[in-house]
Amino acid sequence: MSLKKKSITGAFFNLSANGFAQLINFVVYAIMARILGVEEFGLVAICLMVVEFCNLFVTVGISQNLIQRQTWDDKFASLSFWVLMGVSLAIAVFIFTVAVPIAWFSYSELAAQLIAALAVIPIANGFRLVHKARLERDFHNKALAAYDMAGVLAGGAVSIITALQGFGAWAIIYGKIVQAVVSTLLTWVRSSFRPVWVRDREGLSEIIVFAKPLIATAFINFFSSKATNMVIAFFLGAATFAYASVARQGFSVINNLTFQPLNRIALAGLSRVDKQRLSLAFSRITSLTALFVIPVYFGVGAVAPPFITLVFGEKWAQSADLLTLLSLIAPTQVMAYYLPNLLISQGKPEKAFTLNVINLIVNFAFPLALVYWGLTATILGLVIANYVTLILKFKVVEHHIGISLRQAVRNTWMFSVAGLTMFAVVLYCERADVFGLQNLFAELVALVASGALIYSVLLLTFFRTKTFAVLNDLRYKPAK
């Protein structure tokens, strides 16, 4: 099999595993939301966010270096393994000595116990990552996808079973630990690599130099994406954080199933485009994304009340209004999502880092400024922040590459207008109970079908030329 075919096959299995994991995690998340109380559900979400931050030290940098090296060196891989072990143990010590006491005094004894138990996850990842890197270098992506799926299934089953047995917040923790341990064990068994003790520290400087910028970028990305969550958790408490977490869960799945796969393709494609055609390529990918993603965002926001109630239960009704409000960021997501990779593709990674810093500052500032007025105001601050960062990011991009916000708007506005119109009509139908259906599922189906029809009719009536031009880009064009 050629290198190109191996790469395409590997990408397919990675995306399939990601999609499967997202679906299973969403189902487990919904079941847990129904079983657990609001307070303990929010408490678990906060604990998982803390451990996710600590996990960055393990998951970023070292394995990527092993994958991109010209040749595999067992000695260097063994050194990388022991470095990861040291980092993992240091993280565990940090969790026990810093995070656990803070959780104990800030929230409760239960929060401290949950975070302490989750210290197992960074250690399990430390054991796994070098072996995973070896399998990825050998293009065993199908096996890795299967192991990830097995871990997700095992963890999800444990969470559901223990929750039904009355274990409460611990049910999610048990599931996460089982997921990490199962994936690690399966990867170890399959990998041919076995670490040995290495006395020579010659390769240590390479590991540190390669990992430092990646960890810095991961930190910025983490804090910018979790900024609103942190503000809510710190100022408004676990129960309020739970409502925000449920509201954002749907969009998280949408992002992972749409933007992330498209973003990988975008980087590869934009890197191979001549500078003269870069603007056209960017216009095409944003138009294509807008056509399909904007109606999904606006659609989910419009049907939020029946969707939240049906999937998560009536006690999460407050999350529906938050979800509706969050859907208003749809146009900004489409226009801004590819900008970092656009800069990276043109050899300007430091400017891509600047975009992440803008995200971090603005996403903290606006929600923090409005948190005094409650949860809804904080989420509104996040929506405003998205539009402010959109303007600031394009100023950077236009200065260095010449692609402007005006150009992005010109290529996506028609889909935003159609999506927003659909959003308003469907939202009115839901709030006014136009269909008068007593069955919640039937109402949701009717609203979704109406939204799809309205969006399609608007495009075909007012924006036919642009719509068919974008769809034509999807057609296979054989090489001449």
Contact 401, 347 (CB under 8 A): no
In the block, residue with structure tokens 């299967």: 146
For residue 479, what pLDDT is reported?
Answer: 44
Between the CA of residue 300 and those of 143, 380, 439, what are the distances in Å?
34, 17, 19
Range with top average pLDDT, 198-202, 261-265, 399-403: 399-403
Residue 96 DSSP label: I
pLDDT bracket for residue 66 (50, 70, 90): confident
- Percentage above 70 pLDDT, the chain: 88
Using 50, 70 and 90 to split pLDDT, how confident is the model at 146? confident
pLDDT above 80: residue 141: no
Whether pLDDT at 65 is above 80? no
What angle do helix axes 304-312 and 317-326 make, rounded to 10 degrees? 130
Quick one: how far is CA 248 from the chain centroid? 11
pLDDT score at 264? 52
pTM of the entire predicted model: 0.83
Q: Which residue has the higher pLDDT, 17 or 308?
A: 308
Tens of pLDDT, residues 405-464: 999 999 999 999 999 999 999 999 999 999 988 899 999 999 999 999 999 999 999 999
CB-based contact 29:253 (threshold 8 Å): no
Least Cα distance to 25 among 148, 119, 145, 132 occurs for: 148
Per-residue burial over 221-240, b if 16 or more Cβ lie within 10 Å, else e, is bbbbebbbbbbbbebbebeb
What burial class does residue 372 get, using C-beta atoms within 10 Å of its C-beta: 0-12 exposed, 13-18 middle, 19+ buried?
exposed
What pLDDT, in 10s, does the model give residues 238-268? 889 999 988 888 777 777 666 665 655 554 4
134 burial via Cβ count (<10 Å: 0-12, 13-18, 19+): buried
Asked if residues 279 and 320 have their Cβ atoms less than 8 Å apart, the reply is no
| Whether 334 contacts 286, CB under 8 Å | yes
Q: DSSP alpha helices (H): ranges in 165-203? A: 170-190
Question: Which residue in the block uniquely carries the two structure tokens 């390769």?
Answer: 203
- Sorted by sequence, the CB contacts under 8 Å of residue 118 that are 6+ apart come out as 47, 48, 50, 51, 95, 173, 176, 177
Q: How confident is the model at residue 16 (pLDDT cuts 50, 70, 90)?
A: low
**Whether the predicted pLDDT of 3 surpasses 50:** no
User: In this predicted structure, what is the pLDDT of residue 60?
Assistant: 66
Three-class SS state of 238? helix
Predicted pLDDT of residue 394 = 95
For residue 241, report the phi and psi dihedrals to the nearest 5 degrees.
-60, -35
For the chain, give percent helix, strand, coil, nearest 5.
85, 0, 15
Residues 461-474 pLDDT 10s: 999 999 998 888 66
Work out the pLDDT band at 275, boundaries 50, 70, 90. low
DSSP category for residue 273? S
- Residue 15: is its pLDDT beyond 80? no
Task: Report the pLDDT value the prediction gives residue 1, as an integer from 0 to 100.
Answer: 47
Q: How far apart are CA 101 and CA 110, in angstroms?
A: 11
Q: What does the pLDDT read at residue 6? A: 46
Cα 365 from Cα 78, distance rounded (Å)? 43
Task: Categorize the per-residue pLDDT at 182 as very low, low, confident or very high, splitting at 50, 70 and 90.
Answer: very high
Q: What is the mean pLDDT of residues 129-158?
A: 84
The pLDDT confidence band at residue 270, using thresholds 50, 70 and 90, is low
Question: For 300-325, what is the HEC assignment?
Answer: HHHCHHHHHHHHHCHHHHHHHHHHHH
Q: Where are the domains of the chain?
A: 3-202, 231-472
